Amino acid sequence: MTDITPYQVLPDDAPAAVYARPRLLMAGTALASAAVAMGFLALIVHYVSERAAVIQTGEVWLPNGVTIPLTQPNFMGLTLAFSVISVWWSVASIRDNERANSYAAFALTFLFGFAYISQTAYLLTIMEMEILASERAMLIYAVIGTHIVLTLVAMGYLIVMLLRTMGGEFSPSYFEGVRSSAMFWTVIVVLYSVLWYAIYITK
Amino acid sequence: MASTETRTEVQGPGPQSPATFDGVLGSADHKTIGRLFIGAGTIGAIAGLLLAAGAAFEAVDLGGFTVAKDADEFTQIWSAGRDLLMFGGIVPILVGLALYIVPLQVGAPSIAFPRGAAGSFWTWLLGSGLLIGSYLLNGGPGGGRADFVVLWAAALAMMVGALVWAMVCIATTVLGVRTIGMTLERVPHGTWSFFVFSLVGLFSLPILMAELLLAYLRVRYLHLDVTLSEELTAIMDGVSYAPAIYWVAIPVLGIAADIVGVHTGRPVKFHKAAMATIGAFGIFSFGADVVGLASLRPVDFNNGFLVAGLLIASVPVLATLFLLGDSIRFGELKMRAPLFGALVSGLLLLAGTATSILGLVEPIMGIIDRNFYDGIDMTQTLVLNGTTFHEGIRAVVIGAAVVAAMAGVQHWGANLFGRRLAEPMGMLAMLLTAVGSVAWAAGEVLAGVADQPQLPSAELAGSGVEGFNSIAALGTAVMTAGVVVFGLNLASTALATKPAGSTPNQWTGSTLEWATTMPPPVGNFPAAPVVTSATPRNDGEITFSALLPSAAEALEKEETSSSEELAALPAGSGGSGES
């Protein structure tokens, strides 16, 4: 049996460790989230200014025959609010080294995400609004559709981080990936609150 | 800190960047990606300038068509030139330069998210190909085929999105991968300007993407009448007009500061003041950009943010040049090509920002008209908005950015390729580009004063503006020649790129990119450099630490707190280090 001490495992001429400041992924995610938010808010600003211009002429904003019920948007908001709790639960679980809880929290967040998308699809169905009908319908679909796409991207990010968690990459001493994906998810939920007010409440 | 020091000198050549074709395709090395961006961006800039020259020569004779078949084709050539020069040329060159230099200047072994940066280049390249394809197939603004008008919007959004992603990598590198002791206020001016450029870009370009998404949906689902597709040129106006266009010129100030510091042997004395002026210039372009774009309408020049941007933007430019004046006056001035380019680009930017103040006459007169006078239309005093006046400002600001990028490549040539670019060709390229952009700008500004609209119309044939258009056309041709000379110089140097570490240091620069071998090996430095000021190479020999910065910082804090605790102990308590 060879006598290897921990100090002999690494050769003396091994390259230096790659150095990185902490929270690198957090910084990158924060910047990417800011860029995403700017793009989404630009769509909202366009929607609001278009709506104001139409209302100023004395016309009604929503296309003829289209109504937006409040029940679904409110429940969608509630669903996403719960998802924020579950996504930060996954972060707290990793921090506390409770892996089973973390997987459960990830699963719950996906469930809430799918529920949100499903409710949006149902809402669009009962709104009975043709995308080809008018500029207004197109704008509403553009804003809602963009948010759905962003939600799917956030879910993809969460899946990557779940797989990395399952691979043992994150631990109580390093869980930056999980935290950054939770931050991006939270930004998406905050953006929903803007959408909720601009489209579903003001109609 | 002494316990963390392992090596005191840079070792010889390390592993090299991949040189084979498949190696380049799969490389995530920031140096390879930076070179790819610079090379492809130069080709894009030449293509954009050729198209701009084609459109400018078409405007020389407003009575008929010579280059284009009809007005729609003219719009397409004009628009393609503008798109390619901006997002296919100058912005990718600056992004490439930033991807290459920023990690070296902050002492990082790599860019943050290297595979993301590589992905941004290939996505941008694909988007550029699709954009060119859309124009060739009768798409884009002025196009007659809806499918390819839609393709134009998607391709441009793809290019812009890819560049935004590269900017996330650059900004994150500055925020998160700085080496030990490299605080944010110690980063070189070049890196700082690229940081501000990236932040402004990633906050404002998504707004352009939102507009492109709406254009896509309108044409695709609402079946916008393609005969009206020339209205889509308004989308790019938001980023092409002053003060939003100043965004591409933010790195001009940082590159100039770095070059002046090296080629006068005297780094900018007031380091933080220069950082503040560069940041202020970014803010003035940013505020106007966001507000101007968020209106999502033809740019509203009565907007307060735009007025403020136009009015004040020349102040930080002037202040930065003033701060550089100290190095020029008291340093040992060596008029090499990079220094020539740095000074010329700064002056071009100053000329652009100062001239754009003329654009304020109309909104200011409007304010006076609304508040102080009745019945007198003061807004007609000097109507420049909506004319080619702003095309002229764009030309000179783009010219400043192109010359600064050339000066940067010339300055960091040894870092990039292991050899300097030919000095006389470099000088010639910068001179032609600067003269060309001034002539182009002068022609457009004068034609704007003579009321020529943004897209020249046949109604002005024989009115005298054609003379101004001739000056502009000549300017675009000269500027194109300048960029072609630069491209040839770049290609001849790049094709003879030396292996990593084979070239000694070229200049006596005080920042970290000069503290490694040239070109730098994979990993850039043998270990993390330890810096204690903004000019580490002037502080003596650079030391390198094998520890993680966080560990080193923790150690440093521990040492500091221990010594403070020891100092606080009463004498003779037995806790002294000497015991």
Q: Which amino acid is at A9?
A: V
Answer yes or no: is pLDDT of B211 > 60: yes
Three-state secondary structure along B190-234? HHHHHHHHHHHHHHHHHHHHHHHHHHHHHHHHCCCCHHHHHHHHH
Q: Which of A119-133, B38-52, B463-477 has the highest mean pLDDT?
A: B38-52
A74-83, A176-185, B338-347, B518-527: least confident range: B518-527
Of residues B458 and B270, the one with the higher pLDDT is B270
| CB contacts, 8 Å: A195 with chain B | none
The answer, for B266 touching chain A at a CB cutoff of 8 Å, is: no
Give the model's pLDDT for residue A129: 80
Of residues B480 and B369, the one with the higher pLDDT is B480
- Report d(CA B229, CA B160) in Å as an integer: 20
The answer, for B119 touching chain A at a CB cutoff of 8 Å, is: no
**Residues 126-185 in B contacting A (C-alpha not used; CB under 8 Å):** 164-165, 168-169, 171-172, 175-180
Answer yes or no: is pLDDT of A199 > 50: yes
Answer yes or no: is pLDDT of B548 > 60: no
Quickly state the pLDDT bin for B378 (edges 50, 70, 90).
low
- Kindly report, residue by residue over A38-76, the tens digit of the pLDDT: 999 989 988 888 888 888 888 888 877 788 888 999 999
CB A108 within 8 A of CB A155: no
Residue B534 DSSP class:
S
B420-424, B433-437, B535-539: least confident range: B535-539
CB B117 within 8 A of CB B52: no
Quickly state the pLDDT bin for A153 (edges 50, 70, 90).
very high
CA angle A9, A13, A19 (to 5 degrees): 90
Helix (H, G, I), strand (E, B) or coil at B19: coil
Contact A42 B221 (CB under 8 A): no
Q: Write out the CATH class of domain B2-547.
A: mainly alpha
Residue of B29, B106, B202, B286 to mutate for A, most A C-beta atoms under 10 A: B202
Give the model's pLDDT for residue B298: 46
Give the model's pLDDT for residue A12: 56
Say which of A16, A42, A138 has its CB closest to residue B222.
Answer: A138
- Report d(CA B456, CA A122) in Å as an integer: 50
Of residues B174 and B327, the one with the higher pLDDT is B174
Per-residue pLDDT, averaged over A120-129, amounts to 88
> A24-60+70-201: which CATH topology?
Four Helix Bundle (Hemerythrin (Met), subunit A) (1.20.120)
Quickly state the pLDDT bin for B442 (edges 50, 70, 90).
very high
Answer yes or no: is pLDDT of B444 > 50: yes
Residue of A38, A48, A195 to mutate for B, most B C-beta atoms under 10 A: A38
- Select from B167, B33, B194 the least CA-distant residue to B106: B194
- Kindly report, residue by residue over B381-395, the tens digit of the pLDDT: 566 777 888 889 999
Say which of A16, A23, A141 has its CB closest to residue B176.
Answer: A23
d(CA A98, nearest CA chain B) in Å = 26
Give Cα B366 distance to the centre of its chain: 34
| CB contacts, 8 Å: B164 with chain A | 35
The answer, for B547 touching chain A at a CB cutoff of 8 Å, is: yes
| Mean pLDDT rounded to a whole number for chain B | 82
Domain ranges of chain B: 2-547
Which residues, in sequence order, are bridge partners of residue B529? Answer: B544
- Kindly report, residue by residue over B145-174, the tens digit of the pLDDT: 888 999 999 999 999 999 999 999 999 999
